[in-house]
Amino acid sequence: MKVSVVQGILSANDQLAAQNRDQLDQLGICVVNVMASPGSGKTSLILRTLDQLAGRMRVAVIEGDIASTVDADKVATRGVPVVQINTGGQCHLDAPMLRNALAQLPLDQLDLIFVENVGNLICPVDFRLGEDVNVVIASVPEGDDKPYKYPGIFLAVDAVVINKVDLLPYVHFDVAAFRRLVTGMNPGLQILEVSCETGQGIAEWVAWIVEQREKRRRP
């Protein structure tokens, strides 16, 4: 019985996610769903990206957290539209939440939306939002064993960002072994190494994001 209830919830969510996607497709908006554990650098990466895309692309951000507006306040300093979603305890965003957030954005004036999902490596991957691209951030201090512990998210994403690579001299993280593992799990995966602190690899990350947007541009 419980299984049927869960399947019903996911099915209803997927239907609304498809409606979100149809609406965004009509407007030519690319949505990037950024997932990671707490402290991996989701907000830092988004802020760096906003700085690089300023004047080049019209961007908005949807911030998902259990509570507070801390990250949304940081994003607002960049002068882009931002909507805060507080889940009140839920460990993920879902399609209805995204739909409510979209209603608060000037969609006809946007090219790209970043969704910062709730910090979690388990729940977010099960709930489609209507996104085009799924990204997971794996930060160096977390260790290189996350794909073993949380395989589901690495199987479901389009790209992995290895963040805080400036700490590699001080923390054990076998980049080569990590790359072999995740590409073995998900051969089409894009892997990017960045440091939001030093700026290393940010240009390559932004170029990849721009490429994703161009793929989805309206004719």
Q: Mind listing the pLDDT tens digit for each residue in 4-19?
A: 444 556 889 999 999 9
DSSP per residue over 5-36, as a string? HHHHHHHHHHHHHHHHHHHHHHHT-EEEEEEE
178's CB contacts (< 8 A; 6+ apart) are 138, 144, 147, 162
Distance from C-alpha of 119 to C-alpha of 38, rounded to nearest angstrom:
5
Query: Cα–Cα–Cα angle for 3, 96, 17, nearest 5°?
Result: 75
Query: What is the reported pTM?
Result: 0.94
pLDDT at 217: 73
Sign of the alpha-carbon dihedral angle for 118, 123, 127, 131: positive
Q: Which residue has the tokens 């073995």?
A: 184
Q: Which of 108-112, 162-166, 214-218 has the lowest mean pLDDT?
A: 214-218
Distance from C-alpha of 203 to C-alpha of 194, rounded to nearest angstrom:
9
Distance from C-alpha of 178 to C-alpha of 165, rounded to nearest angstrom:
13
Which of 1, 36, 189, 18 is CA-nearest to residue 122? Answer: 36
**What tens digit of pLDDT does each residue of 107-161 get?**
999 999 999 999 999 999 999 999 999 999 999 999 999 999 999 999 999 999 9
Structural domain count of the chain = 1
For the cut 60, the answer to whether the pLDDT of residue 104 exceeds it is yes
Give the containing element (helix H, strand E) for 71. Answer: helix 70-76
Q: Which domain holds residue 143?
A: 2-215
Please, where are the H alpha helices in 91-160? 95-102, 146-149, 151-156
How many other CB atoms are there within 10 angstroms of residue 169's CB atom? Answer: 6
CB 52 within 8 A of CB 133: no
pLDDT at 8: 56
CATH code of the domain containing 97: 3.40.50.300
CB 193 within 8 A of CB 201: yes
* DSSP code, position 217: -
**Judging by beta carbons within 10 Å of its beta carbon (0-12, 13-18, 19+), is residue 154 exposed, middle or buried?**
buried
Instruction: Tell me the pLDDT of the chain averaged across its residues.
Output: 94
